[in-house]
């Protein structure tokens, strides 16, 4: 178990035992990419890899934080004086700033972070950190916030001090998703439902080994393009454009037309995927994942050739029903849907990928098979 070892590392860093241990999972998005900030639908699931937080309160307003992934160097700031540093500690400061903005008073604390979620993999390491920290603070300071409020505060932290214009999917998944189920989420209303995955399919997650390329700037650009498309079409958000009225986008500049087409058709695919899951139709779900990847590649332009090739290699294997890029894009991981045992083909995929691309792929789910 990670907790005793982690507690010992906290004691080594801060000279005392932690008072609270908390964690949150990373997530894989089965389908519904970039739809969340357009008010649309998403279908993520939790992964086994988690971010762990150990915390102890202080009597002053100082926050001391350390990450086992960042050489365990202790960084400090004072509550109410959070400033953007451009490092992982912005997520901690973003959380404390978001809590203050929501009217929650807390004292200082020492916190250590240990994460199993690969950074830059498109599996929401940032949201896992935000939610794990908020869970620890909720417990220690007896904060009256439920799991949805935790997700909202995590998003506020990232939109605020961190400066990333993300939607709420990642934080909702880290806060509410569970392994073995998909979390169907309406990001406008934050209504959600946990839906059991069909028993005759296996979800496989493969890290490409390529970290996000310019993802923050490109992410911001895609969001601005979507907002401009909605403005020109006279709808509040692209979620409000029905698929049967997609021809209205034909008069837009080509880039905006394709961005709009991705969002509108991706929203429709999420609803079809939900129906496929409920009906136990893995073949249909896989086909929708394939279509989603093509849309991300051609219309939303968030894939890269290396990811496309990894998807192709996975898709060519026996028992694989569908494969797609997952996460914000420009690198990261892919999610593969297959028949039970499909993950056993990972060494074949990884070998071909390394031979052709020169990168090392890592099997993240199912865990322990690589």
In this prediction, residues 313-336 reach a mean pLDDT of 96
In this prediction, residues 158-173 reach a mean pLDDT of 95
Please determine, for residue 9, whether its predicted confidence score (pLDDT) is greater than 90: yes
Alpha carbon separation from 53 to 11, 21, 70, 104, 136 (Å, rounded): 13, 6, 14, 20, 7
Are 289 and 352 within one domain?
yes
Are 17 and 129 within one domain?
yes
- Per residue in 317-328, pLDDT tens? 999 999 999 999
Between CA 308 and CA 314 the distance in angstroms is: 10
Are 186 and 49 within one domain?
yes
Domain span at residue 306 reads 199-365
State pTM to two decimals: 0.93
The confidence score (pLDDT) of residue 178 equals 85
Lowest mean pLDDT among 5-14, 81-90, 140-149, 216-225: 216-225
Residue 158 DSSP code: I
The confidence score (pLDDT) of residue 46 equals 95
Domain boundary among 178, 195, 212: 195
The confidence score (pLDDT) of residue 215 equals 43
Q: Is 164 in contact with 156 (CB distance < 8 Å)?
A: no
Lowest mean pLDDT among 30-39, 114-123, 188-197, 248-257: 114-123
Are 167 and 305 within one domain?
no
Q: Hey, is 196 helix, strand or coil?
A: strand
Residues marked active site are found at 170
Are 213 and 331 within one domain?
yes
The total of structural domains in the chain comes to: 2
Domain boundary among 195, 226, 251: 195
Alpha carbon separation from 310 to 227, 313, 350 (Å, rounded): 31, 5, 8
Is 73 within a domain? yes
- Per residue in 261-300, pLDDT tens? 999 999 999 999 999 999 999 999 999 999 999 999 999 9
Residue 337 maps to which CATH number? Answer: 3.30.70.890
In this prediction, residues 3-9 reach a mean pLDDT of 83
Is 9 within a domain? yes
Are 91 and 179 within one domain?
yes
Q: Is 74 in contact with 18 (CB distance < 8 Å)?
A: no
Is 370 within a domain? no
The confidence score (pLDDT) of residue 216 equals 59
The confidence score (pLDDT) of residue 289 equals 98
Between CA 211 and CA 29 the distance in angstroms is: 17
Residue 162 DSSP code: I
- Per residue in 191-235, pLDDT tens? 999 999 999 999 999 999 998 743 458 989 999 999 999 999 999
Are 44 and 132 within one domain?
yes
Are 89 and 204 within one domain?
no
Are 240 and 296 within one domain?
yes
């Amino acid at each position: 178990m990670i907790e005793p070892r982690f507690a010992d590392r906290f004691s080594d860093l801060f000279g005392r035992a932690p008072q609270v241990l908390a964690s949150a999972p990373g997530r894989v998005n089965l389908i519904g990419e970039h739809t969340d900030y357009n008010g649309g639908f998403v279908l993520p699931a939790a992964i086994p890899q988690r971010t762990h937080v150990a915390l102890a309160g202080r009597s002053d307003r100082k926050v001391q934080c350390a990450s086992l992934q960042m050489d365990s160097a202790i960084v400090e700031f004072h509550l109410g004086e959070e400033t953007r540093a451009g490092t992982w500690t912005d997520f901690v400061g973003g959380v404390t700033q978001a809590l203050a903005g929501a009217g929650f008073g807390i004292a200082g604390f020492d916190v250590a972070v240990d994460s199993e979620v690969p950074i830059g993999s498109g599996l929401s390491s940032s949201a896992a950190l935000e939610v794990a920290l908020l869970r620890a603070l909720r417990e220690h300071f007896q904060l009256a916030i439920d799991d949805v409020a935790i997700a909202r505060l995590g998003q506020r932290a990232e939109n605020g001090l961190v400066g990333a214009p993300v939607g709420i999917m990642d934080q909702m998944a880290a806060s509410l998703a569970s392994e073995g189920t998909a979390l169907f989420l309406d990001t406008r209303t934050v209504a959600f439902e946990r839906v059991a995955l069909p028993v005759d399919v296996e979800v496989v997650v493969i890290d490409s080994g390529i970290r996000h390329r310019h993802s923050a700037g490109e992410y911001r650009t895609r969001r601005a393009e979507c907002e401009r498309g909605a403005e020109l079409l006279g709808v509040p958000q692209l979620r409000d454009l029905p698929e049967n009225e997609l021809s209205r986008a034909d008069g837009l500049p080509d880039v905006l037309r394709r961005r709009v087409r991705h969002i509108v058709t991706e929203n429709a695919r999420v609803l079809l995927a939900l129906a496929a899951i409920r009906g136990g139709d893995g073949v249909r779900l896989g086909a929708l994942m394939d279509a989603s990847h093509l849309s991300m590649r051609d219309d939303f332009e968030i894939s890269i050739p290396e990811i496309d090739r990894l998807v192709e290699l996975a898709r060519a294997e026996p028992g694989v029903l569908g494969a797609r890029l997952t996460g914000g894009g420009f690198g990261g991981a892919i999610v593969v849907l297959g028949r039970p045992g499909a993950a056993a083909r990972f060494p074949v995929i990884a070998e071909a990928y390394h031979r052709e691309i020169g990168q090392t792929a890592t099997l993240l789910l199912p865990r322990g098979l690589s």
